[in-house]
Structure 1
Amino acid sequence: MKNPLLRNHLIKSLLAFVVFAQASVFAQPVIQWDKTIGSNGYDDLKSIMQDANGEYLLTGTGAWAQISGDRTEAGLEEDPWIVKLRPDGTKKWDDIVTPLSGPDWVYMAVRTSDGGLAIAGSTETAYFIRKLDYQRNVQWAKYFSSDSDAGIEIGFGEIHETADGGIIVGMSSTGGAKPAQGKDEASVGGYDYWIIKFSADGQVQWNNTIGGTGSDICRTVRQTTDGGYIVGGSSNSGIGFDKTEAPVTGSDMWIVKLDANGVVSWDKTIGGPAPTSLIQTADGGYVAGGYSSANAGGDKSENSKGGVDMWIVKLTSYGSVIWDRTIGGTGDDYCLAVIEQPDGSIIASGQTGSGAGADKTEASWGLTDLWVVKLSGSGVKVWDKTLGGSLIDRAERNSLISTLDGGFIVGGTSGSNASGNKTENSRGGDDYWVVKFAPEPSLAASPIRINAGGQAFTTATKKLFIADQYYAGLDRTSSIASGDILNTSNDVLYRSARCSPSFSYNIPVPNGEVSVYLHFAETYYGAPGKKGGKGSRQFHVNMEGSRKLTNYDIFAKAGGAMLATAETFTVNVTDGMLNIDFLTGAADLPRVSAIEVLPSPQRTLTFTPQADATVRDGIYQNQNFGSDPLLGTKGYVGTPRDLQRVSYLKFAIPGITNVKSAKLRVYGKNHENMEGITLVAGGVLDDSWTENGITKANAPSYLDPTAEARVLVNGELKYRDLDVTEFVRMQATGDKVVSLALATRSIRLLNFHSKENPSGFVPQLVIVTDNTINQVTRLGNEIEAEPKAEDALSSVIYPNPAKDHIMLEVSSGHKSEVDLELTNLAGSRFRLQRPEIEANSSRLKVGLPAQLPAGMYLLKVRSKEFSEVLKVLVKE
């Protein structure tokens, strides 16, 4: 296309269409599995945690339970019941914690870094915290009695582990000081926030009673990335004591920020109800989740949708409202928990009594259900999902977590049998119920850039470096007011630095490989008016526990003082947190000016089928098996036609480009014996088939598989991988839909789990992409203006189908000469005629080999910049 303006307009239109298409395809999350865990008693789930090995820990209260269902020990009325699940949701073990005296009720539990567990709960006479070791033995316990003479406590807002291995506790209390219980101060109004910090061995390190002139009820407390704490709850207090702002609506959300020693840094009164959940987000701000029946007023900008609604509020790092969203159906809907996902989106979970209507897109399943809502980082609703059976299903506050694979899990308590989207029957009374959601395919995560030791700064190339955050250790910075930093046009970035004996950065990022850029400048040793030089500062840097720099010398690396330099690394993150440790080395203190974390250009995305079904021959040729939990294959050699089976799978892969590899994963076995049988996967070009409509009589044909798309299947039940890279590459450049057929020539029946199988081991299409060519060209030192590389759009072939030649419009991403290679789907190569280059254009006329058989072929286009694969259909 010779008109560049028209070409750019078309490109932008296509990109806008792709973004819109992605939003449509990802409109609903995918449930991987759900599990019902319970006994013949009443089991009330309170907390979900995930361990580093991917296993889940469920904690709650079991009541009047005998050995039955999933419970292997009899109870003593009410007792804490712990259940361990494997990553696939199957139960590994269960255990009860012996009650202190009489019944024990659990409010919340948290996993501790030593492999143990901290449980907050109550007996008939007191509140307690019990710290268990990794073998679930009690290490220490603390009690908080409800003594009317000394004041009354209201149950735990929250407990969480702190960075030093201790425990932070948020409660509410009225009355005098109780030094024996860790309360050093009397209440100042009615109820006050009561925050207690315990050491790892259970000693009270500090406590603070925080309140105004009225009643202040603590709902939530968490440690923040600066080592301090954020506390949230409700308040009807006026200005006075710790409260610095007047009421807005009479009963408001009150947010209090504490430093690392529990001293109030600031407080913020927000006109609206108290949060049930308050989290710090990756940008240093906060998100509060709660519920409200109020119309617009105070800081609430939207009217009620009909009854009680979820109310989600995004706050700055100092508690000012950025946006708020009222989300609800026509009935009562409660937000009980919020989390932030790696892409910056917000997941909110709670309980609903609404049918479809307003923001709720699905009808109720029973009397009450769980309701999960996703918002974008800017507060736009992305999707909602109603979870439940035919009776009562209740959500819980601390039963929503992000999972290591990028998905999330939500839980609650259920009294329903299998119904709705609940796949298992009740064990007898109320049960624990957990639902695991698959990761959502998404665009690459945004870069994180931090101005270490400084304020937010935008570079000459329009890159935003946020104000210093995510650090831990001695809070010490170093800066100079002026001075010319050579090798860069962004002097401000290098004039400040974090510099102390040892410190670390703990940066939340998606799991997988990331590129890390550390920026340095020596502004002290050897700088104008300062002594020293090479060897004066030497320090170590570790990333994810692995040494990256040893006795690093900024002066020596940069070639002198006041010179910018940078070091780059590729790091694999497995726990959602990038850990960078700066450690004292041979001389003086570690120092870093800026940190950049960029998503790796290589991404692994896992897709589950839109549709899958088995077709059978003979008397079954017109019968549909789309809802079966198994996919079957059986060959035709000596087999009656009635037994012959082929299975079809369809995947949507929107937005996928530059496929590096692709594999189809199916979970199953040889159903008849332990013999190894060859399973093949062939590409299907016709994607019009449907799960509930496909039969043997109308099933599309499939291509002969490549040698790689074969695997032996014996009697062991497990995942098998088939390499389908070439076919997926071809489809990724076309309609972004991949249909595949599973077949075998053997008379043995091979069975695999379909997407309807309740086990959760569903088929997967795992695609690895490499978008190196699309990343902006990196600079080492942020030097002057940075050239932006043009996105490498696909080359175009026409006519297609072709007969004796094709025209190839070469992508502008190819800056150097291209090589062409033609293969069939089996990998056989065919010689092409020498291309003819059209004058003043990027078009090539490429002659096809004479007597080339009709069929589908792959044209590989390679240059120094990148390679791509295009499909060519050759006609007779």
Structure 2
Amino acid sequence: MGSIMKRASFLVVVILLGEGDLYAQAPDTLWTKTYGGINDDIGLSVEQTSDEGFIITGWTYSFGAGGSDAFLIKTDAEGDILWYKTYGGPADDNGFSVQQTSDNGYIIAGGTYSFGAGDKDVYLIKTDSLGEVIWVKTYGGGLADWATSVQQTADGGYIICGTTGSFGAGQLDVYVIKIDSLGDTIWTKAYGGMNADGGNYIRQTSDGGYIIVGSTGSYGAGLYDVYLIKTDSSGDTVWTKTYGGVENDGGYCVLQTADRGYIIAAGTYSFGAGREDLWLLKTDTLGDTLWTRLYGGTEGERGYSVCQTSDGGYIIAGYTCSFGSGNFDFYLIRTDSLGDTLWTRTYGGTTSDFSYSVRQTSDQGYVIVGWTGSYGSGGDDVYLIRLGPETDVEEQLSHPGNPLPFLEILPNPSKGMARILLKPGSDADYVELKIFNVAGELVRSFSPLSPVIVWDGRDDKGRKVSSGVYFIRLSTSNLRITEKMILLR
């Protein structure tokens, strides 16, 4: 029996579980593109457009009217430029966030030194479908104010998030502006304490309110903590949460997930293996932590963007100093619904390359934007990478000579026991089976030394578990498969 553990060859069938996720393998790179001139050009936000092409914003020192200008690049589905526009004045101006609007035009949010009331102001540009300006607005006071996130809201207006030095209680505060479809202000809010606080990302939630993430030096456990704010539709605070340790921690992207909780992409100096690690946090609807995951090596990693994928997992983009070819590289991590890694990829050359925004595409592939010092025409260039769809285990099982572990679930929901049958298949150095609840907590673990494993609905301490959703995870030296089970008592 010891030989099974040492060198197991099997096909796994789980009976009385539930249909779930397939094991995803890293997709192929379909194409990469660089855009820019002889100076620096930085890409910060990408969206797939209704025609299957892409829209990108950021800032350019190569083109435009001033020091740096905001830009829009519209491409076709292959990444070839259809048109390119710059926006700005004689000083430095930039774009941080872009979205296609309901009229097929675009909304860009960023910051401007060329226009407005103060040192730096929030810069909002509304264009038509060809990038021609419909209107421009600035928002702010006498000090520095800027935007990093914009979204069209259900009423046809827009919500903007950033940081303000002009308003609020402290040195800097989270700055949120609600405007109508013409850019006229409906309300503004500042959130924070006496120290420096800033907002990085905002999204409208299913109840009509908003979720905001950033960093806070006013509250929490450390120098800076991840700062999560939930508001109602008028911007009034419903609750706030901080996450972090004694060092610097910051949140850069937040989304409401299918279960109406939240997923946050962050960076942490307080926890992990290296100087800074990429940090993924999953919360419930009230912001209470369900689980957290750390990714990285001995150097620095940070997560700037996260999306929930069509199978309930996550795709995260950021940078890594620990892995890859250069000083910094694009860092892409694909996880299951519990944040456990399915695959990771780095992209870049021998110098510095940063990814800042990732989206899942209509064909279930991915598009990532950032900037590269390794390739292109100038100092830094906009760097766009298009990945194809993932392949899964079920597809590979149909290939002769390549049998892999497979989880089949019958019936679902279930009131009975779970039987796991071991049959000949591909080689693996080890095999383990674990069961988790929806909070990501380990319920039961098995060491499959026999051809049949039975789960009696109890945890590792022999206690009966309650009705609900559970995740059955099979791990081998070759792969990991997670399946969902609904247990009814």
TM-score (norm 2): 0.73
- Structure 1 equivalent of residue 345 of structure 2: 385
- Structure 2 equivalent of residue 165 of structure 1: 156
Contact 1:277–1:289 (8 Å) recurs in 2: yes
CA–CA separation in structure 2 for the residues paired with 1:342 and 1:206: 34
1:387 alignment partner AA: Y
Deviations 1:72-93 (A, max 9, x none): xx7654323322222122x142
CA–CA separation in structure 2 for the residues paired with 1:101 and 1:76: 4
Q: Is there any run of 5+ residues in structure 2 with no aligned partner, and where?
A: 1-8, 114-118, 422-489
Contact 2:25–2:392 (8 Å) recurs in 1: no
- Structure 2 equivalent of residue 439 of structure 1: 389
1:171 alignment partner AA: G
Deviation at 1:400, TM superposition (A): 1.0
Task: Report whether the alignment pairs 1:256 with 2:225.
Answer: no
Deviation at 1:188, TM superposition (A): 3.0
Matches within 5 A, 1:241-640: 247-272=220-245, 273-295=249-271, 304-355=272-323, 364-396=324-356, 399-417=357-375, 426-442=376-392
Deviations 1:239-268 (A, max 9, x none): xxxxxxxx3335322211111121212222
Task: Report whether the alignment pairs 1:78 with 2:72.
Answer: no
CA–CA separation in structure 1 for the residues paired with 2:120 and 2:106: 20
Matches within 5 A, 1:15-164: 23=23, 26-65=24-63, 77-89=67-79, 91-124=80-113, 125-127=119-121, 128-145=123-140, 147=142, 152-164=143-155
Deviation at 1:234, TM superposition (A): 2.1
Deviations 1:117-159 (A, max 9, x none): 1122233243211111223222222213551xxxx33432422
Structure 1 residues 653 and 158 mapped into 2: Cα distance closer, same or farther (>3 Å)? same
Contact 1:219–1:274 (8 Å) recurs in 2: no
Question: Is the strand fraction higher in 1 or 2?
Answer: 2
Contact 2:72–2:131 (8 Å) recurs in 1: no
Contact 1:126–1:143 (8 Å) recurs in 2: no
Contact 1:81–1:94 (8 Å) recurs in 2: no
CA–CA separation in structure 1 for the residues paired with 2:171 and 2:92: 30
Deviation at 1:735, TM superposition (A): 4.0
CA–CA separation in structure 2 for the residues paired with 1:143 and 1:279: 26
Structure 1 residues 736 and 338 mapped into 2: Cα distance closer, same or farther (>3 Å)? same
1:382 alignment partner AA: L
CA–CA separation in structure 2 for the residues paired with 1:376 and 1:736: 23
Deviations 1:203-228 (A, max 9, x none): 11222222334443222211112211
CA–CA separation in structure 1 for the residues paired with 2:70 and 2:303: 25
Deviation at 1:415, TM superposition (A): 2.1
Structure 1 residues 140 and 79 mapped into 2: Cα distance closer, same or farther (>3 Å)? same
Deviations 1:165-186 (A, max 9, x none): 211111222455xxxxxxxxxx
Task: Report whether the alignment pairs 1:232 with 2:207.
Answer: no
Contact 1:126–1:144 (8 Å) recurs in 2: no
Aligned length in residues: 393
TM-score (norm 1): 0.42
2:68 alignment partner AA: E
Report SS of the residue matched to 2:281: strand
Report SS of the residue matched to 2:235: coil
Structure 1 residues 108 and 229 mapped into 2: Cα distance closer, same or farther (>3 Å)? same
Structure 1 residues 286 and 774 mapped into 2: Cα distance closer, same or farther (>3 Å)? closer
Structure 1 residues 775 and 404 mapped into 2: Cα distance closer, same or farther (>3 Å)? farther
Report SS of the residue matched to 2:57: strand
CA–CA separation in structure 2 for the residues paired with 1:341 and 1:49: 15
Structure 1 residues 53 and 736 mapped into 2: Cα distance closer, same or farther (>3 Å)? farther
CA–CA separation in structure 2 for the residues paired with 1:12 and 1:27: 18
- Structure 2 equivalent of residue 196 of structure 1: 177
Deviation at 1:196, TM superposition (A): 0.8
CA–CA separation in structure 2 for the residues paired with 1:409 and 1:209: 33
Deviation at 1:373, TM superposition (A): 1.0
Report SS of the residue matched to 1:202: coil
Contact 1:144–1:153 (8 Å) recurs in 2: no
CA–CA separation in structure 1 for the residues paired with 2:93 and 2:148: 18
1:341 alignment partner AA: T
CA–CA separation in structure 1 for the residues paired with 2:166 and 2:69: 30
Structure 1 residues 227 and 389 mapped into 2: Cα distance closer, same or farther (>3 Å)? same
Report SS of the residue matched to 1:654: helix
Contact 2:304–2:318 (8 Å) recurs in 1: yes
Structure 1 residues 428 and 218 mapped into 2: Cα distance closer, same or farther (>3 Å)? closer
Please provide the CA RMSD for this pair: 3.2
1:333 alignment partner AA: E
Quick one: percent identity of the two aligned structures? 27
Deviation at 1:383, TM superposition (A): 1.4
Deviation at 1:283, TM superposition (A): 1.2
Deviation at 1:278, TM superposition (A): 1.1
Q: Is there any run of 5+ residues in structure 1 with no aligned partner, and where?
A: 1-9, 66-73, 177-186, 239-246, 296-303, 356-363, 418-425, 444-651, 657-730, 738-772, 778-784, 794-876
- Structure 2 equivalent of residue 540 of structure 1: none
Deviation at 1:427, TM superposition (A): 2.4
Contact 1:197–1:205 (8 Å) recurs in 2: yes
1:406 alignment partner AA: Q
1:79 alignment partner AA: D
- Structure 1 equivalent of residue 441 of structure 2: none
Deviations 1:582-633 (A, max 9, x none): xxxxxxxxxxxxxxxxxxxxxxxxxxxxxxxxxxxxxxxxxxxxxxxxxxxx
Structure 1 residues 269 and 42 mapped into 2: Cα distance closer, same or farther (>3 Å)? closer
The structure that has the greater radius of gyration is 1
